[in-house]
Amino acid sequence: MNAGLLNYLLYQAGWFACVLGAAWGHAVLGTALGVLPVVVHFVLVRCRREALALVLWAAAVGLVIDTTQIALGTLRFDAGTVSSWLPPPWLVVIWAQFAMTFHFGLRWLRGRPGRAALFGAIGGPLAFLAGRRLGVVELHPALWPSLISLAVTWSIAMPAALWLAERQSGRVGIDAYRWESDPTA
């Protein structure tokens, strides 16, 4: 199987586990299941230390970004929360899952900050709209302020995340799972 496709499928499975777990009232189970694709990624990836650094960085940055969005009134979570001013754990896990894609499913955006910004500006709000539709997040009652805030945030976060991943790209095998031959060859 193609590593990029597998990586995308792992991310999607993790996203759905987290979001549907929260939507169906099983946030803890959804979060635990959402960690599994990250574990599978670590088992498969050649450069575990770099992958771990990227996942931890993304989770920390996501925590700060979403805490800020909550404080601004852009987002509100009721499903699976520990505190009203913090994003729920399942959302932090989604950030970790997202980091798995930087060297695989989203590598086509590296070195293209304009495309990455556009992808973030569209994809970020769409993901939250999907979460809203599933009942796991509330956006600002006027909706447009939330969408604009999310679009601006994600248009900055996406190129920044990919820039960080690109800084790791000199490492041989960073973009490969264990069964692949050298992807740069």
pTM higher than the cut 0.85: yes
Residues 127, 131: Cα–Cα separation, whole Å: 6
CA dihedral over 74, 80, 81, 87, signed as positive or negative: negative
Query: Residue 182: what pLDDT?
Result: 55
Query: Residue 17: what pLDDT?
Result: 97
**Cβ–Cβ < 8 Å for 3, 176:** yes
Residues 148, 123: Cα–Cα separation, whole Å: 12
Calculate what percentage of the chain has a pLDDT beyond 90. 70
- Alpha helices (runs of H) in 24-143, residue ranges in sequence order: 27-44, 48-72, 89-100, 113-133
Query: Residue 170: what pLDDT?
Result: 62
Query: Residue 98: what pLDDT?
Result: 94
| Residue ranges for the chain with pLDDT beneath 70 | 169-174, 181-185
Query: Residue 185: what pLDDT?
Result: 43
